Amino acid sequence: MRSGPAVCRGFTLLELLVALAIFGLLAAMSYGGLQAVLVQQSYTEQAADRLGELQKMYLVMQRDIEQIVPRIVRDEFGDAQQPLIGGDTLRLTRGGWRNPAGRQRSTLQRIGYAYEEQQLVRYTWSVLDRAQDSEPLKQPLIEDVERLQLRYLESNDVWKEQWPDAADLVDNEVAEGLLGLPALPKAVEVTIEHKMYGTLVWLFQLP
């Protein structure tokens, strides 16, 4: 017995609509998952950038404070300034200022730190003994800072919020007479309140 011709059966319109609906649903779910991954990746990159800024700021402050030198400088009015002056702001003279271009300048540098407009700002002066027109270079280090507090550890392990005070100035004069060097604190404590990281306390030991 001979069989009849083969019948080719196609998709009906309803089957096509169901297939398209399923494909659209899968595509929407895949896009939603991809979008969530991209958003999370963006948040992760932002957090990594902020953490990188924080680590960089710590290393910069550590380098500046731990390379302090007892060199008295002159301000723009010709008055003598101690190697380290601290209160709500911090100013110090540090060594190790690299000079790859070989310019005619000192390897010492005057540095300043201040809290301004929710930023921790670093100031640098190109000369130690300043003139009337000596303007510092301003470099914001990190944003979203809510508060900056500085403390200074004396040789007798007493913390002070100002350096130097009146008693320290007398002690400095005695130290200068005996050793030729002004007195410096043993350590500097830096407390930063940050919107994202909360309260950070760093302790830098002076040489």
> Residue 201 is part of which domain span?
55-205
Give the separation between CA 85 and CA 100, rounded to whole angstroms. Answer: 29
**111, HSE (Cβ side, Cα atoms, 13 Å):** 24
pLDDT given for residue 11 in this prediction? 66
Asked whether residue 64 is domain-assigned, the answer is yes
Asked whether residue 78 is domain-assigned, the answer is yes
pLDDT above 90 covers what percent of the chain?
Answer: 44
Give the separation between CA 92 and CA 77, rounded to whole angstroms. Answer: 18
| Token pair 């130097």: residue | 164
57-102 residue pLDDT tens: 999 999 999 999 998 899 888 888 899 999 999 999 999 888 777 7
pLDDT given for residue 182 in this prediction? 67
Give the separation between CA 75 and CA 134, rounded to whole angstroms. Answer: 9
Asked whether residue 24 is domain-assigned, the answer is no
Q: Name the residue with higher pLDDT: 123 or 76.
A: 123
Continuous segment of H or E residues that includes residue 38: helix 13-66
Asked whether residue 1 is domain-assigned, the answer is no
Among 38-47, 55-64, 71-80, 115-124, which stretch is predicted with the lowest mean pLDDT? 38-47
Counting Cβ atoms within 10 Å, is residue 204 exposed (0-12), middle (13-18) or buried (19+)? middle
Asked whether residue 195 is domain-assigned, the answer is yes
Domain at 151, CATH number: 3.10.610.10
Q: Is the pLDDT of residue 180 over 70?
A: no
* Joined tokens for residue 139: 């470099």
Asked whether residue 31 is domain-assigned, the answer is no
**Number of domains making up the chain:** 1
Asked whether residue 98 is domain-assigned, the answer is yes
Q: With the C-alpha atoms ordered 207, 152, 59, 67, is the resulting torsion angle positive or negative?
A: negative
Structure confidence at residue 44 as a pLDDT band (50, 70, 90): confident
Structure confidence at residue 177 as a pLDDT band (50, 70, 90): very low
Among 2-11, 25-34, 96-105, 157-166, which stretch is predicted with the lowest mean pLDDT? 2-11
Reduce the DSSP state of residue 40 to 3 states and report it: helix
Asked whether residue 149 is domain-assigned, the answer is yes
Identify which of 93-102, 132-141, 161-170 has the greatest average pLDDT: 132-141
Structure confidence at residue 2 as a pLDDT band (50, 70, 90): low
Task: Assign residue 89 a region (left: φ > 0; alpha: ψ between -120 and 50; beta: otherwise).
Answer: beta
